[in-house]
Amino acid sequence: MRTAPRALTAWTLLALLLALAGCDDGGSGADAGGRDAGATVVDAGPPAPDAGLPAQDAGAPDAGPAAPRCVLDGPASVGYRERAELTWASQGADEATLFAAGVDGEAVSLEGARAIGPLSLDLVAELEVRSASGATSRCRIEVRVAPAPAPWILGVGQSNMARYFSSATANAAELERAVEALPSVSGDVTFVSAARGGSALLEANVASAPDNYWVREATDGFAPGPLLDAALTQIATRRAGGTVDLFLWAQGERDSGAISQRVFGAGAGIADAAERERRLLEEVDRYERALRYLVATLREAAGAPDVPFAIQALGRRTYPRVEAIEDQIVMRPAHELRRLQHRLAAEMPGVRVLAETYDAPYTDGIHMDAAGRLQTIQRLAAALEVWRTGGLASGPVAREARRATPREVALRVDGLSVVGALAHRLFWIADATGQPLAPALEATASADGVTLRFADELPADARLLVAFGDLGTSPSGMHIGYSPAQEGVHIFDAASQPVATATLPVTP
């Protein structure tokens, strides 16, 4: 839905300001034809909720310096994720400041226009004008935003996405229902797949199926591979009758395995550690450039450069046990790709890691089972609600890991109101280098956090790591995991948004 902006022409703005300047009867300041219903015109002092203040009485003997005046106008309403075109003008002002989403407190010209958005929440915008004498006035406008449409979601990636749709392991209907239940969603949700099991992002990383990849290298950068071409066809079909609202990406296992063999495998022939590191980072850089290309290409096909691109993070096999060469073969490249996922979410607008999968039950160390997919679906839906409504993530903060007894650690967590049954394999004790030594045998709720019991006495230089897991049956959905983005223990809220990072040495 789009309502035509109630844009004021320069003549209309001027007429309103002149009318205000000429009022001496406490009236509204409207011109003879009546003020445009969308414009708010005020003078000194805070604005009334629905109208400007009466014009200042020009005849008052000690009124002081005349206050500047302003007019701020725009549409009464816009469609979901559309922009609101605001226009303004002022009289007797030397400075103007605009307060609105994305431009909060920005100095602007004394007369001008600005497009605000795309908007997913109602907009309240204010213009503050100030004269050289210090007198100020504000004008205000509210723009209603239509409810978000029911999303059309395209799943892309490899098997941990494709298995949502497999006849034997299908969970796509559960994801649709979870999203339909969100407060910000009305109508039916459509979740379709372009994913294929075992697919590589890059052609160089394919296994047995030669066409099972998304992007190929070209002389001038990258070009679509067979799977990306197929996804672009699906997008074109969708655009004939609707919009693409979300891309959901789960991928990286195939490419990390191929990188492992080329860098750490017996056939790689790279004995020097520094050369292995250089080659690994070179491979990760190539993957990053290809993924950025894929995101841009999908968005271009969707006809909007800001279509949300959500990432379901790589799972358990990426836990960074990387000190031993045999562990590096499996763990290190996947860990670097997972770090990349978080980095892209921090750097690229509209990209976000929506669900961590540290604690998802797996069938074989790579693929989530049905329970794991259902758990991840709940996190995806909760995170999507935060994203769609523009909310900010919040949650508990891990503060301190203290040696309670020779075999126990007391983990203090602020802001954690409910703790359910905790899986003991959540928490690992590690040495000073961060190398995990052993999981906890038991984890129980305490007055201000969690008490962890280990089989052996803790080393003197112990550190607490969290490998993967869930803070149990907590209805708040809080969970905790090792964050490759910040290299430390990280607490996530129900929407899988990281809320605090803490390095946790085990103190005496």
Per-residue pLDDT, 330: 56
Locate the domains of the chain by residue range.
Answer: 10-145, 152-389, 397-507
- Do the two domains 10-145 and 152-389 of this chain adopt the same fold? no
Could you read off the pLDDT tens digit of each residue along the chain, which spans 508 residues? 334 444 444 445 445 554 445 444 333 333 333 334 444 544 444 333 333 333 444 444 555 678 899 999 999 999 877 889 999 999 999 999 998 876 768 899 999 999 988 887 788 899 999 999 999 999 999 999 887 666 789 999 999 999 999 877 778 888 888 888 887 787 788 899 999 999 999 999 998 788 999 999 999 899 999 999 999 999 999 988 778 889 999 999 899 889 988 888 777 788 888 898 899 999 999 999 999 999 999 999 999 888 999 999 887 654 333 333 444 455 678 878 887 887 888 789 889 888 777 656 777 768 888 888 887 887 788 778 767 766 533 334 556 788 999 999 988 765 443 333 333 445 677 777 766 677 777 777 676 677 888 999 998 888 876 533 333 333 334 444 444 444 444 445 545 554 444 457 788 8
* CATH architecture, domain 152-389: 3-Layer(aba) Sandwich (3.40)
Question: Could you tell me which residues come within 8 angstroms of residue 32 by beta carbon, excluding any fewer than 6 positions away?
Answer: none
Which neighbouring-strand residues pair with 224?
215
Place of tokens 């980072």: 281
Structure tokens at 380: 């995806």
| pLDDT at res. 463 | 80
Distance CA 201, CA 101 (A): 36
Q: What are phi and psi of 194, to 5 degrees?
A: -120, 10
Nearest residue to 393 (alpha-carbon basis) of 293, 491, 308, 280: 491
Class of domain 397-507 (CATH, top level): mainly beta
CA distance between the termini of the chain:
61
The DSSP result for 4-30, as a single string, is: PP-PPPHHHHHHHHHHHHH--SS----
For the record, the structure tokens of 128 come out as 């503050």
According to CATH, the topology of domain 10-145 is: Immunoglobulin-like (2.60.40)
Q: Is 248 helix (H, G, I), strand (E, B) or coil?
A: strand
